[in-house]
Homo-oligomer: A and B are copies of this chain.
Amino acid sequence: MIIDCHGHYTTAPKALEDWRNRQIAGIKDPSLMPKAGDLKISDDELRESIEANQLRLMKERGLDLTIFSPRASFMAHHIGDFNISATWSAICNELCYRVAQLFPGNFIPVAMLPQSPGVDPKTCIPELEKAVKQYGNVGINLNPDPSGGHWNSPPLPDPHWYPIYEKMIEYDIPAMVHVSTSCNPCFHTTGAHYLNADTTAFMQFLTSDLFQRFPKLRFIVPHGGGAAPYHWGRFRGLAQDMKKPPLKELLLNNVFFDTCVYHQPGIDLLTRVIPVDNILFASEMIGAVRGIDPETGHSYDDTKRYIEAAKISAGERGKIYEGNARRVFPRLDAALKGKGK
C-alpha cells in the first residue's frame, strides 16, 4: 500500500471560497457575515472535485490512500479573530471528513485547528476533540506562526503550546508543522514561508528539551524538512557545539520528514542523509507546483517516481510508502486494520 501523508483539499468546490470571501467581508461589515449553514455543497459536488483531481492522479500514479487536510494556504489564521477561525476550521474539517466518508478507502482526514494570533492554543481543543472523536481524524496540522509571516508567537517548545501537545499524546496523534499564507511581503508563501517554517521548527526542536519532556510527541516536518537535510552537517555540528546528543538520539524518535521534494537530486539527498525510518511518502498534490518538469516529462509533484528511482531497498521503500505512516499515525493503522488492511 502507498500512503501519501500530505494532501490538502485544494480543489474544493468554488462555493467554499465564495463563502470564505463573504466571511472576510463580514469582519468589516457584520451585516454581510454568512452563517455556516449558508454553505451548501452536495455529495455529488464533493465527489466530482475529488474524482477529477486527487483521485484521478492517485490512480494514475499508483497511490492508495491520502492523509487529507484542509487547504493549507486557505487556513489563513491571521484573518479575523478566534471566532472567525473557529467557524472556518469547522467548515473545512467537515468537508475533509465528508470526503473521507465518500471515499473511505482513499482518504482519511487530518484537521486544521482554529488558531488565531495571540490567542491561547487551548482554545483549539474542542475542535481537535471533535475532529478526532467524531470525524476520525488521525492527526492535526499545527501552524507555528498563525500571524502569517510575522512570527510573533512563542517558539514551538514554549509551554504556550503544551495544551495541544497534551491532547496529541492523549489521542496518540502526530502534528504536521504547517504554516499558511504569508501576509508578509518578504515571504512568498510556497517558495519561502513554507520552507522557512520547516527549517525554523526543526531548529526550535533541536535547541529545546521538548522531547525529553514529551517523549511521545511526534511531528512531521513537511516539504522534505525545509533546509534541514541539505544542511544536516550544519545541524549536526550546531547540536554538537551545544553539547547536545547526536541528532538521531535528540530528535529522530519524534521528528519525521515527508518527501515533498520535487526533483530526483533532492530525494536522493533526503534518502542518503535521513534514516529511512524517519521518511514518510508524500506529494502534496494538487498543490504548490502543478506543472510538468521539462527535464523528465512528468509532474514535478509526482514524487513516487523519485522514490522508485532512489537507491534504497524494497524494504526501505515499503517503510517510506506505508510502514512509517502506520507507525507515526497509529489511528490510521488502527483504521486500516479495522478494514483488514
Q: Which one of A150, A203, A234, A291 has the greatest number of beta carbons of chain B within 10 Å?
A: A234
Min CB–CB distance A127 → chain B (angstroms): 24
The verdict on A200 contacting B224 (CB below 8 Å), with A229-B230, A231-B262, A237-B262 known, is no
CB-CB contacts of A71-95 with B at 8 A, as 1s and 0s?
0000000000000000000000000
Q: Which one of A199, A227, A263 has the greatest number of beta carbons of chain B within 10 Å?
A: A227
Total copies of this chain within the assembly: 2
Contacts of A190 in B (CB 8 A): 234, 238
Min CB–CB distance A143 → chain B (angstroms): 12
A233/B204 in contact, CB under 8 A: no
Min CB–CB distance A271 → chain B (angstroms): 10
CB-CB contacts of A233-245 with B at 8 A, as 1s and 0s?
1111110110000
Complex: A203 Cα to B192 Cα, angstroms:
6
Residue A149, interface by CB 8 Å: yes
Task: Give A contacts to B, CB under 8 Å.
Answer: 144-145, 149-151, 153-155, 184-188, 190-192, 195-196, 199-200, 202-204, 206-207, 223-224, 226-227, 229-238, 240-241, 261-266, 268-269, 272-273, 288-291, 293-294, 300-301
